[in-house]
Chains A and B, each alone.
Chain A
Amino acid sequence: MSLPNLLIPLMVIIPITCALFLNLLHERIRTVKVISIVVAFALPIIPLFANYGTHYFGGYAPLIQNPISADLPTLITGTALYIFHPAITYVYGSAQKLMIFILGIVGLFAIFISLYEVKKPSGVYIYLMLMGIASITAMLLSDDIFNLYVFFEIAALAQVGIVLVSKIKNNYETALKYMILGGIASPILLLGIALLLGVTGNVNITDIVYSIRNGLINPQSPVLLMACSLIIFGWLYGTGLPPFHVIKSAMYSKALPTGAALLQAFSVFSLVAFGVIIIRIFSYIPFTHVFLLAISLIAMVLGITMAITQTDFKRLIAFLAVGELGYIGAGFGLGTVFGITAGLFQAVNESIITALLFIGFGTIMYKTKETDMQKLGGMLVATPKSALFVLLAGIALAGVPPFNAFQSKLMLVQASLNSGLPEIAIIMVLMSIVTFMTFMRAFHTIYLRPKPVDLEIKNEKIPKITLVAMVIFLAICLLLGLYPHLATNFLQGLAMSIT
């Protein structure tokens, strides 16, 4: 096997191996730093060098690709067994390349900032971040629904861990609640997968889709419909769509800024990974699209209206992030190639912008240890550069040109109009306006109004790496805003293959 193809599983194996190694070395600060920096650079670089293709674990390719299969009897070659996938399969295409690269960029800066913002970097914290990144990468690559579930669980535990090691008030309670709710949602997702396995006799997604489309099983089987509903319920938990939006936003707000930046990227890419599978397997059920649209609209409206009423800026950004997930889901719900491409593009954009906002607002926490907006003010004087970056990030989030979210939201609006659903387009525009208003209120309160007398601001300078990260995130936002085809060309293939 050539090296570029070997890089497909290495995108998962390297961060997991290094994570386990770092966990053992967490007292040796220098070693932790060196290994973390090397792995952090590897995260976005490996996907750039990996070739597009398929990786079969154990080398067990489908029989049709095996030279010895020519001698097999028609008893085997004449059946679906001939084309079924016996191994866990990873599929690496252009969309996966872009999304894993973006996840790697967010991971790279989250790790760097966490290394330089604290005097004693924690090996355990980096371990959890790397485990989460590896899990989400595996979810994006995997064509095996059970393998995907395993990594879904690891990602959920890594998220709980990231919140647990963040020294923020009430973080233990929030992490515990997330685990308890996961205790309901994860077994239900697993039950859905088990039912799917029971009906189709398969866990490979391509094979399941083949079985349904070619009449090997009854598509209207009640067990299959039940599996669909249970898998969608698990998907809501993993992504933080309603009814899990409250706990998900609480998780973001109880993590350190670097952790929150990563957690939201995990949610966004989990939404994409499972969303793609739901569309691939269950798009023949018309109600699937209706449900995805409905839940996305509810997420948008609940997330953004709840954000307006928040006084804690981390919670405000967290609810806005949940609201933005609704846009991605709406793209999937529309079900057209253009709509899904727009949804995927919005996912890429949101993961960058929200990471920028969490890290940008994190500088306020760094300087004041305060997240309550009622106790903040006058921060423009203390942090002028990061204030500018945060302002631009907020403008990007609301979908103002020339930034990337403008392009993806415009595509989503166009996709809604093309699908004969102008109401969804109107709600999307309305929510963007309200997002802008909500963000400007927070920005005014924190940066522009007079500084409260009792607010203490530390004299410590914001680490340069934090500002560098913000500049690079903004540059990506601007680049994708001016040249959206740089992303959409990568994403369109996936959208076309699943519709």
Chain B
Amino acid sequence: MNIYDIILKKIKDIRMETGDNKPVTNIAASSMLTAEITLISSILIAIVILRLLNKNLMIVLAVLVFVLIFMAMPIMPKLKREQNDSLTSMNFYVIIALGIIVTLFYWGNLNV
């Protein structure tokens, strides 16, 4: 099964989960594929910025993230499922973000 078929199957699965019975069009599948490639390439490029911190850490993380992404592919349908209009999931990510921001600024600046 090639990556296009995998993405198509994943979109169908997610649509079934969410009760969306619309047919999966070529445009939808190719859009998802483009988004997938854009997302992966952006993450990998962003990881290279860590070279400013530590080059070895950057190499290890780049390899690790690449492997993780490869195993978790396709990511975009899952991401789209998470980024929905549900108030519960929005609240969840808002609280998580608040926790991360406070931790990074408060603890990070005092202890690093």
Q: Which residues of A contact B (CB under 8 A)?
A: 174, 177, 180-181, 184-185, 188, 220, 222, 225-226, 228-230, 232-233, 236, 242-247, 250, 285, 287, 291, 297, 300-302, 304-306, 308-309, 311, 374, 420-421, 423-424, 426-427, 430-431, 434, 437, 441, 445
* 10 residue pairs bridging A and B, Cβ less than 8 Å apart: A184-B91, A226-B102, A226-B105, A232-B105, A246-B90, A285-B105, A287-B104, A305-B38, A308-B35, A426-B45
Report the separation of the CA atoms of residues A300 and B38 in the bound assembly, to the nearest whole angstrom. 11
Contact, CB under 8 Å: A230 / B83: no
Residues of B within 8 A of A285 (CB): 105, 109
A25: min CB distance to chain B, Å: 36
Residues of A within 8 A of B101 (CB): 229, 232-233, 291
B13: min CB distance to chain A, Å: 15
Contact, CB under 8 Å: B38 / A434: yes
Q: Per a CB cutoff under 8 Å, which of A180, A236, A243, A287 touches B87?
A: A180
A244: min CB distance to chain B, Å: 7
Residues of A within 8 A of B94 (CB): 181, 184-185, 243-244
Contact, CB under 8 Å: B90 / A177: yes
Contact, CB under 8 Å: A306 / B80: yes
Contact, CB under 8 Å: B105 / A287: yes
Residues of B within 8 A of A245 (CB): 83
Residues of A within 8 A of B90 (CB): 177, 181, 243, 246-247
Known: A305-B38, A426-B45. Contact between A441 and B105, CB under 8 A? no
Q: Per a CB cutoff under 8 Å, which of A222, A423, A426 touches B110?
A: A222
**Size range of the interface on B?**
35 or more
Contact, CB under 8 Å: B42 / A430: yes
Residues of A within 8 A of B45 (CB): 423, 426-427, 430
B95: min CB distance to chain A, Å: 8
B7-49 vs A, Cβ < 8 Å mask (1 yes, 0 no)? 0000000000000001001011001101100110111011011
A321: min CB distance to chain B, Å: 15
Report the separation of the CA atoms of residues A306 and B35 in the bound assembly, to the nearest whole angstrom. 7
Q: Which residues of B contact A (CB under 8 A)?
A: 22, 25, 27-28, 31-32, 34-35, 38-39, 41-43, 45-46, 48-49, 52, 76, 79-80, 83-85, 87, 90-91, 93-98, 101-102, 104-106, 108-110
Contact, CB under 8 Å: A230 / B102: yes
Residues of A within 8 A of B32 (CB): 308-309
In this complex, the member of A188, A228, A291, A309 whose beta carbon has the largest number of chain B beta carbons within 10 angstroms is A309
Report the separation of the CA atoms of residues A55 and B80 in the bound assembly, to the nearest whole angstrom. 48
Residue of B nearest to A304 (CB): B38
Contact, CB under 8 Å: B35 / A225: no
Residues of B within 8 A of A180 (CB): 87, 91
Report the separation of the CA atoms of residues A304 and B36 in the bound assembly, to the nearest whole angstrom. 11
Known: A246-B84, A426-B45. Contact between A441 and B96, CB under 8 A? no
Residues of A within 8 A of B25 (CB): 374
Known: A228-B105, A287-B109, A421-B49. Contact between A233 and B97, CB under 8 A? yes
Known: A301-B42, A374-B25, A423-B49. Contact between A242 and B106, CB under 8 A? no
